[in-house]
Structure 1
Amino acid sequence: MQGLHSPVGQSVSDAAPKALLQALHQVIPAAGLSCQRLPETPIDLWLIPPDLPTERMDDDVVRRIWNDTPYWIFCWASGLAMAQWLLAEPQHVKDKVVLDFGAGSGVVAIAAKMAGAKQVIACDIDQISLIACRENAVLNQVELEYLDDLYAYTEQADVLLAADVLYDQSNRFFLDEFLKFGKQVWVADSRVKNFVHPAYEKVDERSATTWPDLDEAREFRNVSFYRTIKAVS
């Protein structure tokens, strides 16, 4: 992991949620959390500070980071791009029921609610991620609902959103599963540039950076957007 850096100011707070700090310290003992404003959005999130001295981490800590990554401590590029898109084009979710799959920090769910969605469900299998979603929702004064098992959702949302969930080849089967849970599906991903699936089409490409900046390769800063070709009945 390379050093973190961020050109935008952040406010370090002693009020960082204790449950999140405890979970973070199990992976990175000396790390803290800071309240950070995401670029080109009105959204604040509890994230790892950009000045974390990663070069001084011992091998055990680095191993824990890679083996048990606390994904919610970053706002990944695809999530940021999708949040920015929702806020710029709120008609996609306004007055609709939205399911955010693989919610992580909750950034996409929060953006959907800010964009006027009637109901937003943040879905993530990781219980700590759901705590992060709750705390970040409080931070942004929005109300979300929470789900830890996609298959426990018995309705069909108007819109299903999925950002940065295709990084693992084994997750590709979700492209079929999403069709069961959303009348319209939008997928944003910076790791997969083009996938071929009869139900989806690539419609856009946007530039975004994981926040705080992981100094990722330029190729991972280009986020591809896909949507279902037609609404699923």
Structure 2
Amino acid sequence: MSRLPADPEGFIRANTALEAPAMVPEFKLWLASEYVPIWQATEAWLEEQNIDPPYWAFCWPGGQAIARYLLDNPDQVRGKRVIDFAAGSGVSSMAAARAGAASVLANDIDALSLVAAQLNAKANVLSFEVSTEDWLAGPDGAPAADVVIAGDVCYERDMSARALAWLRSHARLGRLVLLGDPGRNYFSAQGLLERARYEIPTSLQLENRGMRETVVWQVLPHL
């Protein structure tokens, strides 16, 4: 999704509501309450079928875990350049900005996701830059950063392998790389160091349980 119809902000406001995520009540985000209606509304608005799910409309546990960790440990990002891979709703980027990062760049190949992320930032009097570039298609260790964050990127086998390889390329350059994951199917803890663990309430519409144990991992340079 690279080009959007007119007034994407209006579409988001009309189909979501400002709500506080369970693990980061400090923030309010434009979120959908149900999965199918927002997906159908997005398809109708874009006049496309079989689009990727509107992940941006939900605050997934991996992103919430990263956000909680950064808010509780602001020294990890204070004064540093942070990049947020597959930013979704932007909750992790918001936490990095609130924690005092020198700069934050939120990335997602879904352009509507980044509109939502910036709307969420605006609702919380925060700001950050955005990028729709496909970072996984670029060179290892790019773009430059001091800290790399990512949440919920291990849904699919190929995506998980590519994302972890890309994240590890940053770790090999001496950067702090943090990954939030609630035990997705294609996640592997090999070459990772646990930083924090949370029990995060989740919707049964989105997950197969009402609570997900979610871990913030540090990606190490080597397996």
Indicate which of 122, 142, 146 corresponds to 1:158: 146
Aligned to 2:163: 174
User: Deviation digits for residues 35-72 of structure 1, max 9, x if unmatched?
Assistant: 11223431111111x3x596xx6xx949x698531111
- State yes or no: 1:197 paired with 2:165: no
Distance in 2 (alpha carbons) for counterparts of 1:92 and 1:99: 13
Indicate which of 171, 174, 184 corresponds to 2:176: 184
Name the aligned partner's letter for residue 180 of structure 1: S
> Is the Cα–Cα contact under 8 Å of residues 93 and 104 in structure 2 kept in the other structure?
yes
Distance in 2 (alpha carbons) for counterparts of 1:148 and 1:35: 24
Note closer, same or farther for the CA distance 1:115–1:89 as it changes in structure 2 (3 Å cut): same
- State yes or no: 1:119 paired with 2:106: no
In the alignment of these two chains, the number of paired residues is 200
Note closer, same or farther for the CA distance 1:213–1:134 as it changes in structure 2 (3 Å cut): farther
Structure 1 or 2, whichever has the larger Rg, is 1
Q: CA deviation at 1:191?
A: 3.3
Q: CA RMSD in A?
A: 3.2
Which SS does the other structure have where 1:157 is aligned? Answer: coil
User: Deviation digits for residues 163-186 of structure 1, max 9, x if unmatched?
Assistant: 001111111221111233461111
Give unmatched runs, 5+ long, in structure 2. Answer: 1-5, 44-48
- State yes or no: 1:76 paired with 2:64: no
Which SS does the other structure have where 2:149 is aligned? Answer: strand
- Aligned identity (percent) is 29
> Is the Cα–Cα contact under 8 Å of residues 190 and 220 in structure 1 kept in the other structure?
no
Which SS does the other structure have where 2:166 is aligned? Answer: helix
> Is the Cα–Cα contact under 8 Å of residues 80 and 209 in structure 1 kept in the other structure?
no
Distance in 2 (alpha carbons) for counterparts of 1:181 and 1:125: 19
- 1:37-116 equivalence runs, <5 A: 37-39=20-22, 40-48=24-32, 50=33, 52=34, 61=40, 68-116=52-100
Note closer, same or farther for the CA distance 1:184–1:108 as it changes in structure 2 (3 Å cut): same
Q: CA deviation at 1:208?
A: 1.2
Distance in 1 (alpha carbons) for counterparts of 2:178 and 2:157: 18
Q: CA deviation at 1:192?
A: 3.0
Give unmatched runs, 5+ long, in structure 1. Answer: 1-16, 25-30
